Amino acid sequence: MEKKIFIKTFGCQMNEYDSNRIYDSVKKLGFLKSNDQEKVDCYVLNTCHIRDKAKEKVYHEIGRVKKLYKQKAKPIMIVAGCVAQAENEEMFKREPYIDIVIGPQSYHKINDILKKFVNNQKQEETDFDTVNKFNYFERVENKNSSVSAFITIQEGCDKFCHFCVVPYTRGPECSRPFNQIINEVEKLIENGAKEIVLLGQNVNAYSYMESSKEYRISNLINKLESYSELKRIRYTTSHPRDMTDDLIDCYSTSKKLMPFVHLPIQSGSNKILKLMNRKHTVETYIDIYERLKKINSAIEFSSDFIISYPGESEDDFNDTLDLVKKIRFINSFSFIFSPRPGTKAANLNLIDKEISKERLLKIQEHLSKNQLRMNESLINKSIDVLVENKIDGQSKLFGRNMYMNSVIFNGEIKNIGKELKIKIDKVNKNSLFGEIEKKNNKRAA
């Protein structure tokens, strides 16, 4: 009999990718994806451990599900993702409503776990078994056929920044076989993908050895370049230390690699970078920026910033502010430091809350200014937009420019999947608005 499954996904694109692969996998057992979270047989929370109070948020979510199903048959309750990995069987003690706890590197076992789930026998699976996960998902077709499709090429991290849980929740760096990725990319293109986003916790550390040859992310980008149906290539998230020459060269050789680099720096002070164990300096970061700008002046950077990391003085903070003014980052993320249990920075002395809030406001003000300045510079210009979707309930379409900004304009659904020239007439900080440029898009409407 047909059963329904709903997955609520938190956090990064890698979790979104994983959720889609779980849907693909459990289909074999007759579980069909549902968007109605109130009437399912299996409810999955795919969790994220990056933000503050992640664990508490998961228990809160389960409380909500319990209320939804108070008068109905209980769904199989699965907690997946990084909180599951970090908390493992402890979760059953705190919340008996949970039936299955499964870490991100064990998703290839999900069908077996569900099959065994009889007599409400609770199961926990949190091994770091990345190679088998990759091999399993190679055999399950990726049905994620959106215009912009994600594909995980690498998981885990060996860098051990002192504030971060990823090395503990996703395990050591592990790269997928080159040909496995290419096979999946070809399927995605056949299913209509026009943009491929290569994903990894340290995506530019991708390194796969076969017959004494090392395949790097630059090899993947060069291969993707050769598919005529593919219009755009992106990758995220990268580490400054892995911005090697071959990857930088791709920005001169590839026409499809978008001129938008999301490269987290976290702080503009070398003292703080050292305390964070980031393994790069502000100078090496600026050097990467300048080399890329020299190749293509249209390249723009975005970044992540941790404000008020323990030990950050006013001078350190001002160094970060200076860097934001120099590089003019767009589309960036900034947060006040909050400790993650189990990390080296978990028990450090925190900076005063009011000072931290002031610093965050200041940096966000500058980042917003950069963003608005960038968007305003596009007014009255025609820009390339990859059309991704229709906006629900409206006759408008949604797409993205090369810097990942949303662009909204009137148009027909036949344009989904096309790259169109859109003349921008209005902007705000988050979105651009315009009309299809008639003379350049004669067949578009």
**CB-based contact 285:240 (threshold 8 Å):** yes
SS3 408: strand
Site string for ligand SF4, 233-252 (x = CB under 6 A): ------x-------------
- CA distances (Å), 424 to each of 87, 231, 434, in order? 48, 21, 4
Residue 132 binds ligand SF4 (CB under 6 A):
no
Q: Please count the residues of this chain forming the interface with ligand SF4, following the rule CB under 6 A.
A: 10
Residue 280 sits in the site that holds ligand SF4 (CB under 6 A): no
Query: By C-alpha distance, which of 83, 86, 75, 134 is closest to 106?
Result: 134
Q: To the nearest whole angstrom, how small is the minimum distance from the Cβ of residue 438 to ligand SF4?
A: 45
Counting contacts by CB under 6 A, is residue 262 touching ligand SF4?
A: no
In 360-400 the beta strands, taken as DSSP E runs, fall at 382-390, 396-400
Q: Which of 423, 419, 425 has the alpha carbon at shortest distance from 444?
A: 419
Q: How far is the CB of 236 from ligand SF4 (least distance, A)?
A: 11
Cβ contact 87:110 at 8 Å: no
Tell me: does residue 339 bind ligand SF4 (CB under 6 A).
no
| Minimum distance of ligand SF4 from residue 161's CB (angstroms) | 3
In the shown chain, the binding pattern of residues 187 to 216 toward ligand SF4, with x for contact by CB under 6 A and - for none, equals --------------xx--------------
* 291: number of Cβ within 10 Å: 15
**Measuring CA to CA, how many Å separate 283 from each of 242, 287, 318?**
15, 6, 16
User: Which stretch in 160-168, 351-359, 374-382, 395-403 sits in contact with ligand SF4 by CB under 6 A?
Assistant: 160-168
CB 266 within 8 A of CB 276: yes
Applying CB under 6 A, which part among 132-140, 157-165, 188-196, 210-218 lies near ligand SF4? 157-165
Residue closer to ligand SF4 by CB (options 25, 152) is: 152
Alpha-carbon torsion 212, 217, 221, 227, what sign? positive
27, 33, 167, 310: which one contacts ligand SF4 (CB under 6 A)? 167
Residue in 86, 166, 257, 275 binding ligand SF4, rule: CB under 6 A: 166
**DSSP codes joined into one string, 242-302:** G--HHHHHHHHH-SSB-SEEE---B-S-HHHHHHHT-S--HHHHHHHHHHHHHH-TT-EEE
> Which range in 116-124, 155-163, 310-318, 427-435 contacts ligand SF4 by CB under 6 A?
155-163
Binding of ligand SF4 at residue 263 (CB under 6 A)?
A: no
Q: Does 386 bind ligand SF4 (CB under 6 A)?
A: no
Q: Is 181 in the site for ligand SF4 (CB under 6 A)?
A: no
What residue ranges bind ligand SF4 (CB under 6 A)?
157, 159-161, 164, 166-167, 201-202, 239
